[in-house]
Structure 1
Amino acid sequence: MRTVFGIDVSKHIINLAIVVNKVKVDECKLTLDRPGLDNLLKLLKVFHQPEVVFEATGIYSRTLQHFLDCNEFNYTMLNPLTAKKQLDSLRPYKTDRADALNLAQTSFIIHRSLSYKQAPVYEQLHDLSRFYQEVSRDVVNHKNRLHRALQLTFPQLESLFSNTNNELYWAIVMRFSCPSQVLKTSFTDLRSLIQDSTNKVISTNRATCITKKLISLAKEAYPVVNDNSYVYEQIQYLTKRIVEEVHEKDKIISEMQHEAENLPEYDLLLSIPGFGVRTVTSLIGELGDIRRFHSSNALNAYIGIDLRHYESGNFVATDHISKRGDAVARKILFRSIQNIAVASHFHPNHINDFYQKRKRQSSQPGTKKIAIAAIHRLLRTIYHLVKYNQSYNYQIAKA
Structure 2
Amino acid sequence: MRTVIGIDVSKNKANIAVTTYLIVVKESAISLDMLGFNELKHVVLQFGGNPEIVFEATGVYSRRLEYFLQREHLNYHILNPLTAKNRIATGSRLRKNDKRDAQRLAITEFTEQLEPYLLAYKQDPIYRELTDMNRYYDQLNEDKKRARNRVHRVLQLVFASFGATKDGFDFDNKLSWELLTIFPHAQLVRDIGDLNELESQILSAHFKGVGSKRAHDSARKLWKLAAKNGDAVNSDNTRQMKALAEQVLALEVKQNQQVSRMIELGKSLPELSLLQTIPGIGSSTAIRLISELGDLRRFHTRQQLNSYVGIDTTEVDSGDHQSARHITKHGNPHARRILYWTVILMINPQMDNNHIRDAYQKRREASSSKKKLIVRQMDRLIKTILYLIKTNQPYSYELSPHSK
Letter in 1 for 2:14: I
Distance 1:317 1:198 in 2: 60
Is the contact between residue 147 and residue 244 of structure 2 (CA under 8 Å) also seen in structure 1?
yes
Partner of 2:359: 354
Aligned counterpart for 1:301 among listed residues 298, 307, 311: 307
Farther-moved stretch of structure 1 (107-116 vs 168-177): 107-116
Distance 1:371 1:179 in 2: 42
Distance 2:307 2:209 in 1: 49
Aligned counterpart for 1:267 among listed residues 265, 273, 285: 273
Unaligned stretches of 5+ residues in structure 2: none
Partner of 1:139: 144
Deviation, 1:235, is 1.0
Pair 1:212 & 2:220 matched: yes
Deviation, 1:163, is 2.9
Distance change in 2, residues 1:356/1:42 (3 Å): same
- 3-state DSSP class of the match of 1:249? helix
Is the contact between residue 57 and residue 79 of structure 2 (CA under 8 Å) also seen in structure 1?
yes
CA RMSD across the alignment: 1.9
Distance change in 2, residues 1:98/1:206 (3 Å): closer
Deviation, 1:49, is 1.5
Distance 1:238 1:172 in 2: 12
Letter in 1 for 2:181: M
Superposed CA deviations along residues 50-91 of structure 1, whole A, max 9, x for unmatched, are 111001111111110111111111200001111122233467
Farther-moved stretch of structure 1 (240-249 vs 316-325): 316-325
Partner of 1:314: 320
User: What is the TM-score when the length of structure 2 is the normalising length?
Assistant: 0.92
Is the contact between residue 161 and residue 168 of structure 2 (CA under 8 Å) also seen in structure 1?
no
Distance 1:223 1:346 in 2: 42
Distance change in 2, residues 1:269/1:201 (3 Å): closer
Partner of 2:101: 99
Distance 2:66 2:261 in 1: 24
Distance change in 2, residues 1:397/1:265 (3 Å): same
Distance 2:210 2:10 in 1: 57
Letter in 2 for 1:147: H
Is the contact between residue 128 and residue 256 of structure 1 (CA under 8 Å) also seen in structure 2?
yes
Distance 2:393 2:199 in 1: 53
Is the contact between residue 171 and residue 197 of structure 1 (CA under 8 Å) also seen in structure 2?
no
Is the contact between residue 161 and residue 169 of structure 1 (CA under 8 Å) also seen in structure 2?
no
Pair 1:192 & 2:200 matched: yes
Unaligned stretches of 5+ residues in structure 1: none
Is the contact between residue 8 and residue 99 of structure 2 (CA under 8 Å) also seen in structure 1?
yes
Partner of 2:248: 242
Deviation, 1:31, is 0.6
Partner of 1:120: 125
Distance change in 2, residues 1:239/1:273 (3 Å): same
Distance 2:399 2:323 in 1: 37
Letter in 2 for 1:213: K
Partner of 1:130: 135
Distance 1:321 1:359 in 2: 19
Deviation, 1:134, is 1.1
Is the contact between residue 154 and residue 221 of structure 1 (CA under 8 Å) also seen in structure 2?
yes
Partner of 2:382: 379
Distance 2:314 2:381 in 1: 20
Pair 1:44 & 2:44 matched: yes
- 3-state DSSP class of the match of 1:395? coil
Distance change in 2, residues 1:17/1:267 (3 Å): same
- 3-state DSSP class of the match of 2:172? coil
Farther-moved stretch of structure 1 (4-13 vs 163-172): 163-172
Aligned counterpart for 2:283 among listed residues 274, 277, 295: 277
- 3-state DSSP class of the match of 2:286? helix
Distance 2:355 2:183 in 1: 49
Farther-moved stretch of structure 1 (6-15 vs 102-111): 102-111
Aligned counterpart for 1:178 among listed residues 182, 185, 195: 185
Deviation, 1:345, is 4.7
Is the contact between residue 309 and residue 332 of structure 2 (CA under 8 Å) also seen in structure 1?
yes
Farther-moved stretch of structure 1 (4-13 vs 309-318): 309-318
Letter in 2 for 1:10: S
Farther-moved stretch of structure 1 (112-121 vs 35-44): 112-121
